[in-house]
A and B are shown apart, each in its own frame.
Chain A
Amino acid sequence: MKNVERAENVSKRPLVLSTAPHVFDGLTTRKIMLNVVIALMPALAASGIIFGARALLVVAVTVCSCVAFEALWCALRKQDQTVGDLSAVVTGLLLAFNLPSTIPLYMAVIGSFVAIIVAKALFGGIGRNFANPAIVARIVLSVSFTAAMTDFAAPQIAGLAASGVDAVSSATPLAPAAASLSLLDLVLGVHAGALGETCGAALLLGFVWLLVTRTVTFTIPGVFVGTVVALSVLTGNDVATQVFSGGLLLGAIFMATDYVGSPTSFKGQVVFGLGLGLITCLIRFWGNMNEGVAYAILIMNLVVPYIDALTRPAPLGGEKRRFVLRGRGEGRSE
């Protein structure tokens, strides 16, 4: 009872008054981002093995520059430092994974600037970017430096190990003239492509981690890849090549599932995945580009507010679903 009196009488430590709830789940934004970083590690290791030290150098440059741009922005704007949430690390990793290992390093830095400053910070920072920052940066770099962005190095291993000194340029398996690859080479990623996108096995291992930690659900990657598989079968394209080469698995597992640019409800996620698969195939099969995943994700990112509004679940006991667009409150809610 002395303690009770003390608690009230010592003015330095009055009883804490706060609104319910008084307990919280341990999950934080930083833990979510850390889980994504962990899930990207197998693909990082694979890129080092397949494309050599140069790939790791590109990763180091994008991660460091993304973190630096984020820290610099917060410092210039005199706002709370957000580097600790690790989202800039994720963006840096994903951006590097979308680049060929041969990319000049200054281009990688420009990509980081586009991702962190243009696509994210200018729109209000984490949670307010209109599309996935790494995707925006990939597209900006593709348009600006087309040659460098398609100068894919040939793998350094699996028979080509002799060329380890100087990487040899090679076409991705999606290119029309590409020689067909064995399934094993496709799955293990021993083929040309952006440095983090080729090794399907490593990406899938990361996906398992994301599912086990409940960071993402199966819905978006499942429907996205499923749609591509179905359309490949219908159009007579090789399913394994379509799934395991190009940016499909990297995009489906790590970038289409970015919370900010994807719908929240199950139905919305199905619609989103269908749209992604459809646009990817339209570009790949009938467009004049080999690769369509990045554009598919960008386009679908932009229509998410509409998908969300149209697929919002009916509340328990609510009359009928009504169309409510994300709207006027946006940007004023903090």
Chain B
Amino acid sequence: MARVSLFSRARGAVVPHRKDTAELPTQAMPVPGEIMIPMQQHIGALCEPVVKKGDHVDVGSLVGHAPRGLSADIFSGISGTVTAIQPVYYSSGKSDTAVIVESDGKQTVADAVQPPDVSDRASFLVAIRRSGIVGLGGAGFPTDVKLDPPNLDDIDLYIVNGTECEPYLSTDYREMMECADDILFGVRETCRYLAIPKALICIESNKPKAIAHLRRLTADDPAIEVKALPSRYPQGAENVLVHNASGRVVPRGKRQTDVGVMLNNVTTMAAIGRFLATGMPLVRRRFTVAGDAVARPGNYDIIVGTRVRDVIEYVGLVKEPRKIVLGGPMMGNAQIDLDYPVIRQNNGVLVFGEEGMTRPATTPCIRCGRCARACPMSLSPVEIKKAYAVEDIERLDALMADLCMGCGTCSFVCPAKQPLSQTSKLARDFMRTEMAKRR
């Protein structure tokens, strides 16, 4: 139930929005000469390449086959020839396999691309399993697994996440402004096949046009409600959104489905809608390019697998890039290798010249408590940091460090510029590993 206290303050932080690209209509980026398709573009098991060097592929051809369980098929976004299957290295130091496809410039569509034959829940889930759709808000959780929880009958609320709380990014906003029909088709069909009676589309109040637009389109549909939420980062974090939108609290160690909620991003819903209508798997996506070094910032419709270098060359530069971040500035990853491709859950790239560059010097903690008051999960980042420093697993457990989402709010608000979010994430991962060992 809703935990409403007279004295509770709004948690989270007011971050600069920087949505300069929001009102720029999406432009299609030309087909690149070559794309790189990593076999990991989702949370879960690696895909197995089903093509070999020299094979011909079309738009929508299966390239990576997902093993059973948590994974999602990967398709080609261009037609052409497989020129290599080679390792790809991430800035994290990890690596996996990628398929390189050279374009023949024809963009012929694979014969297998046909609107799926969907009539009930089972055939719907089978179809989604073959759609290559993952959580497009950034997480990359395979959508078919999300749509098929063990307790589907208990779910009475579908929350559609259109909050887009990360600064700079505006792909979800453009999706709502340009493709609202796809979103609503996806929501209605999903709710129909999964028998979920009510959908709540949640949008941050800094997007009044999107709120008005979707309200107009759903005015005569009692099953869909558009809810405006305050613009406070991280409004779009899943468990935070569930709480703020419905008052329900997802207990530690449980999932949203355990409190009767299913949750997906607006762009994911639009992808479902488009796939059901056309049968074209997820091979393109809308992508925000922003930052002070970019000559033509905006939203671009690009083919998944396009290298970051090609995207940056296409949009042009006004100054030398010093830092390149895939995703938003609060949770995105800085890149060291521009040959790395855009994968399906990436929603933008930020190319910084000076802006976002200076990491302020860290000074001693003055115990001001801003981190703890801002933490959307009500954790105590400084205490977690201390417990992690001595690897005190019992204290980390008591402080519930495993609830940290790594949203970055504590690091953002800290006047001493301590890397609190970073240590909390390390503490969380350490705790999970240690707990797993003990079981």
Contacts and interface: CB of A to CB of B under 8 A. Distances in A.
A312 B252 CA distance: 17
Interface stretch (B221-229, B269-277, B334-342): B334-342
Interface stretch (A25-33, A100-108, A168-176, A245-253): A25-33
Interface stretch (A54-62, A122-130, A142-150): A122-130
Contacts of B399: 324
18 contacts: A15-B321, A15-B338, A17-B334, A20-B332, A20-B334, A22-B352, A22-B356, A23-B15, A28-B415, A32-B415, A127-B367, A265-B372, A316-B240, A316-B378, A324-B399, A328-B392, A333-B382, A333-B389
Interface stretch (A2-10, A66-74, A133-141): A2-10
A77 interface: no
Interface in A34-49: none
A330 interface: yes
A319 interface: yes
A316 B243 contact: yes
- Greatest chain B CB density within 10 A among A312, A317, A327 is at A317
A4 B406 CA distance: 30
B435 to A, nearest CB: 15
Interface size band for A = 35 or more
A232 interface: no
Interface string B324-340: 11010111111110100
Contacts of B330: 20-23
Nearest to B339: A8
Contacts of B335: 15, 17
Given A25-B413, A27-B415, A319 B329 contact: no
Given A127-B416, A326-B386, A333-B385, 6 more contacts: A15-B335, A20-B406, A23-B15, A28-B363, A316-B377, A318-B252
Contact of A27 (B321, B322, B408, B413): B413
A20 B329 contact: yes
Interface of B: 7, 9, 13, 15-16, 91, 167, 239-240, 243, 249-252, 254, 309, 312-313, 317, 319-325, 327, 329-336, 338, 350, 352, 356-357, 359-360, 363-369, 372-373, 376-380, 382-383, 385-390, 392, 395, 398-400, 403, 406, 408, 411-417, 419, 421-422
B417 A32 contact: no
B367 A21 contact: no
Contact of B412 (A23, A31, A334): A23
A260 B13 CA distance: 22
Nearest to B395: A324
A13 B323 CA distance: 10
Contact of A15 (B324, B364, B419): B324
A219 to B, nearest CB: 9
Contacts of A264: 367-369, 372-373, 380
